[in-house]
Structure formats: C-alpha cells, structure tokens
Amino acid sequence: MSAYQQRRYFKPKNCRFCADSKVKIDYKETDLLRQYVHEDGKIRPRRQTGTCAKHQRAITKAVKRSRHIALLPFVGEVLR
C-alpha cells in the first residue's frame, strides 16, 4: 500500500472518560472493554480510540486483568 491508500481513522477530539465522569473503567465490564480490543485480540492504540494517556493506561490494565481471569480472550475468534 502506498501512502495514499492507507486507512485513516477518525479520532474524537475529547476522551470519552474525561467528558463523562459517570463512565468508569472496570475489568468486569467486558462490553465496554470489547470496544477497545480488535477482533484478533489486540488492544487498540490511542490514535484509534481517542482516549487520553491516563485512561488508555487504565483500559490496558483492565483488559489485561479481564484476560487473566478469563473474561476476555487473549486471542480473537479470527485466529482460533
């Protein structure tokens, strides 16, 4: 792929968690965490999710915890 054919991702201007203090990052909320994980199991980077650095670190910790106690898979359905 050349530079013109690469995919561009839309980045929201504000962090979702900074804007709404009611939304909490918890390792037990798998529906929320699945939005921040690719189909193959990788954690999405900040430039795709639009979260700030503080909340991206919290998302990473929560995803890793939920993987460890088997709430989220380490590998996605595509690679199984």
Give the predicted TM-score (pTM) of the model.
Answer: 0.79
Q: What is the mean pLDDT of residues 26-44?
A: 93
Q: From 2.40.30.170, 1.25.40.80, 4.10.640.10, 3.40.47.10, which CATH number describes the 16-79 domain? A: 4.10.640.10
Q: Which sequence spans correspond to the domains of the chain?
A: 16-79
The C-alpha atoms of residue 50 and residue 32 are separated, in whole angstroms, by 15
pLDDT digits (tens, 9 = 90+) for 39-71: 889 999 998 888 999 999 999 999 999 999 999
Which residue would you say has higher pLDDT here, 26 or 8?
26
Reported as a pLDDT band with limits 50, 70 and 90, residue 7 is confident
What backbone phi and psi angles, to 5 degrees, belong to 37? -130, 135
